[in-house]
A and B are shown apart, each in its own frame.
Chain A
Amino acid sequence: MKIALNITKTIQDLLLGFMPEGTASILAMVIIALIYLAIFSVAGLMLVLVERKVAAWFQLRIGPNRVGPWGLLQTMADALKLVSKELTGTVKADMFLYNLAPYFVIVSSLMALAVFPFTQEFQAFDINIGIFFLIAISSIGVIGILLGGYASNNKFALIGAMRSGVQTISYELSVGLSLLTMILITGSLQLSEIVEVQKNGWLIVQGHIPAVIAFMIYMIAGTAETNRAPFDMVEAESELGAGFHTEYSGMKFAYFFLAEFINMFIIAAVAATVFFGGWLSPFGITDSIPWLGVFWFLGKTFALVFLMMWFRWTFPRLRVDQLLTLEWKYLLPLNLLNIVLMALIVWLGLTIQL
């Protein structure tokens, strides 16, 4: 069985059959944008449902089970409800910045989604500086949060936004440095090439000890960067109401909520691609059927998403000073040492090649 997976080329060839070249390429772009918007919203809605179900299982509850079979349509109903709510806010807000903030968070997470190789050739944008692009794009999201919190003219929102700012920029360093550790092995920033390198064994196996350390640092820092529990002082309900989106209602609130879950997906997807071989199957068992790569990629990603949800129900929330101590006094020096260790291993050729 063979399904054409190079979406850009397939769509363009199909359209070229019955229209001029210029129109065809523009229409192809629109179709790809629509496909990714669909992936974006379906993934977001599904992750919200998964989060609620997992939370329920951890607490021996059933979770949402009324709308649709096993409650599968629950988040769809929630989204419909949020669309039909009035977009209200405070009159004191700085209206221009207040309305601008959701654009930043949505655009940054949508653009990050574009560079992932879901499987061989199923990739909208195979940029040659993929990892660098991801690090850069993910730091734009925090601008949206800071803008939203500041422009709301609400004390809870401002405190939440400032906490988010200091937390996200601090942990961004660890995310960047731990991914950098793995780049030492691959020698390339392009995501499709990073997956290609892992045909000789996933990077977490190839890099053994420093790779495992880098993975652990990456998961801690990734959880903190997406402002999830146990690092969620940004929206600590008991202290700050809803944190930086206290003044946002209806659909505008939904953007922040959606972007938060998509960011979680992105963090897990980067980890799956860089450490666990992306769409490659374990030991190449399904190499003959290329489209199964989507299954492996999503499987690895959701396993890591589940890990992040597990963190949430295992660890109590940290204080802001404990959080900064963890990053600046433990993770950052450890990360610098880890880079030297990895460089030594790559230099002496001690990586494990299967």
Chain B
Amino acid sequence: MGSEAIIVFLLAGIVLVAGANFLSNLISHKSDNPQKREPYESGMTTIGPTWVQFKVGYYLFAILFLIFDVEVAFLIPWAVVFKDVGAVAFIEILVFLVILGLGLLYAWKKGALKWE
């Protein structure tokens, strides 16, 4: 199969979820009361809103991830042609990785990798 496989598998996944949901709705026994529809919190009533400002540390790691993920995207074409190019590719990537390594070192020293 060619690249139409992406569409076929996308549709297959959607059909699987939608179909099973439909089947489940069809045959399941239904009952309802107000308590059942409360958010689950081990039997306690939820206090305050859930959608609040979240700890900023998570976002810091997301930004760091972005930098290194782009790095992976840059390295993949390099890795594919490395065998054919040889010495030039090796020295170039050494420079690239040293710059990135310094970036990681900077983030490390600034305490961006610390979790508190």
A-side residues, CB < 8 A to B, are: 8, 29, 32-34, 36-37, 40, 82-92, 102-103, 106-107, 110-111, 114, 124-125, 127, 131-132, 135, 150, 152-156, 158, 162, 165-166, 169-170, 172-173, 176-177, 180, 183-184, 187-189, 241, 246-247, 250-252, 254-255, 320-321, 324-325, 328-329, 332-333, 336, 339-340, 343-344, 346-347
In the assembly, what is the distance between CA of A172 and CA of B81, in Å? Answer: 23
Other-chain residue from A29, A106, A184, A188 in contact with B1 (beta carbon distance below 8 A):
A29
Given A155-B41, A252-B21, A339-B97, are A183 and B58 also a contact pair (CB < 8 Å)?
A: no
Given A29-B1, A188-B80, A250-B24, are A86 and B40 also a contact pair (CB < 8 Å)?
A: no
What A residues does B72 contact at CB under 8 A?
A: 135, 173, 176-177, 180
- Specify the chain A residue showing the minimal Cβ separation from B48: A155
What A residues does B110 contact at CB under 8 A?
A: none
In the assembly, what is the distance between CA of A9 and CA of B71, in Å? Answer: 39
Residue count of chain B within 8 Å CB distance of chain A: 66
Q: Would you call the interface of chain A mostly helix, strand, loop, or mixed? A: helix
What A residues does B10 contact at CB under 8 A?
A: 107, 111
The distance from the CB of A105 to the nearest CB of chain B, in whole angstroms, is 9
In the assembly, what is the distance between CA of A234 and CA of B83, in Å? Answer: 41
In the assembly, what is the distance between CA of A180 and CA of B58, in Å? Answer: 26
Q: Mark B41-62, 1 if CB is under 8 A from A, else 0.
A: 1100010001100110010011
A-B contact count (CB 8 A): 197
B-side residues, CB < 8 A to A, are: 1, 3-6, 8-14, 16-17, 20-21, 23-25, 27-31, 36-42, 46, 50-51, 54-55, 58, 61-62, 64-65, 68-69, 72, 75-76, 79-84, 86-87, 89-90, 93-94, 97, 100-101, 104, 108, 113, 115-116
In the assembly, what is the distance between CA of A4 and CA of B39, in Å? Answer: 54
**What 9 A-B pairs have minimum CB-CB distances, sorted nearest first?**
A107-B13, A321-B115, A125-B5, A33-B12, A183-B79, A251-B24, A176-B72, A91-B37, A169-B65
- A111–B6 touching, CB < 8 Å: yes
The distance from the CB of A116 to the nearest CB of chain B, in whole angstroms, is 12
What A residues does B50 contact at CB under 8 A?
A: 92, 153-155, 158
